[in-house]
């Protein structure tokens, strides 16, 4: 496999997404990225990802402003898969194709009942690597 999986969502910048300056609030970027992340893990058929994958690092680089009513696309792609961690790269682009923000989000696998990171389940590793399910 040459590339890890990715997913995109399209949104309109709503009034609630803007701040007093009239452009997107910093938190809007993460909400859009998390929506794309949810789409990614639905496509991988791993619905129990979110309750067991706390964030340990978020890096956001802001490049351009997005305005009320503007259409955006948030794209998330798996960048690296470790034994217990997973790093996703993302970008949020305007309807004109300009990158407004980009960065990474790193999560770790902490299953329900655990207090420390544990190895990712085999079915997630196989899905991320594009390996068919074992029969």
pLDDT mean across residues, the chain: 92
Q: Over range 103-124, report the average pLDDT.
A: 94
Q: Does the pLDDT at position 27 exceed 70? A: yes
Q: Over range 76-104, report the average pLDDT.
A: 97
**Quick one: which H or E segment has residue 103?**
strand 99-108
* Choice among 49-53, 59-63, 84-88, 93-97 with the minimum mean pLDDT: 49-53
Q: Does the pLDDT at position 48 exceed 90? A: no
| Prediction pTM value | 0.90
Domains of the chain plus CATH, in order, are 6-128 (3.10.129.10)
Q: Does the pLDDT at position 1 exceed 80? A: no
More confident site: 99 or 134: 99
| Alpha-carbon span 109 to 125, nearest angstrom | 12
């Amino acid at each position: 496999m040459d590339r890890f999986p990715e997913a995109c969502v399209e949104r309109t910048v709503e009034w609630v997404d803007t701040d007093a300056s009239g452009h997107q609030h910093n938190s809007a970027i993460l909400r859009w990225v998390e929506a794309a992340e949810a789409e990614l893990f639905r496509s991988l058929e791993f619905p129990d990802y979110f309750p067991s994958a706390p964030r340990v690092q978020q890096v956001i680089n802001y490049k351009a402003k997005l305005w009320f009513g503007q259409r955006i696309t948030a794209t998330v792609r798996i960048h690296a898969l470790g034994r217990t961690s997973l790093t996703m790269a993302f970008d949020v682009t305007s309807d004109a194709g300009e990158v407004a923000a980009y960065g990474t989000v790193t999560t770790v696998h902490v299953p329900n009942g655990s207090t420390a990171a544990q190895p990712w389940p085999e079915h997630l590793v196989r899905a991320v690597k594009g390996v068919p399910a074992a029969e």
